[in-house]
Amino acid sequence: MLGAIAGAAAVVLCDQAAASLVQSGWLAGTSVLENTSATPFGLPHVVSLLLWGALWGGVLERRARHWPDSLVHWIRSAAFGALWLSLAQWFFVEPLLDVPVAAALNPPDLSAALLLNGIWGVGAAVLLKLLRPQP
């Protein structure tokens, strides 16, 4: 449950905050915190992002509890977000949304996804650390 909370919070606090900075600066991407409906389920885009963040946060929580508490933990959290979230976005979510698979291999879109999802991974790990009761 803490993973879902941390994952959803990381969407707003880390992923979307970084996305707004990236979008305004040097990489193209989707609009942040959109309220338009996300097909195929018709949910507002931001709700869809929060649900995906909660789902992946739960997965990250299950995986991260077996990682050593060191720099490796943070590197693995960033890699988890960058790799698994990006792959799911490119090969599962985008085809559902009638968007070209893997951002049509457009380097700025690919790098934006890897960067933002990696930031989400670290942010979710930090939030998990803060939310988890200390022994």
Q: How many CB atoms lie within 10 A of CB 7?
A: 30
* 77 three-state secondary structure: helix
Give the residue-averaged pLDDT of 80-109. Answer: 81
pLDDT tens digits, one per residue of 112-127: 888 888 988 898 998 8
* Mean of all residue pLDDT scores within the chain: 78
Phi and psi torsions of 127, nearest 5°? -65, -40
Whole-model pTM: value is: 0.77
Give the residue-averaged pLDDT of 37-42. Answer: 63
Phi and psi torsions of 72, nearest 5°? -60, -35
Residue showing tokens 């707004």 = 20
* pLDDT over 90 percentage in the chain: 7
pLDDT tens digits, one per residue of 7-36: 888 887 777 777 776 666 654 444 444 445
Residues whose CB falls within 8 Å of the CB of residue 105, separated by 6 or more in sequence, listed in order: none
Alpha carbon distance 123, 26 (integer Å): 21
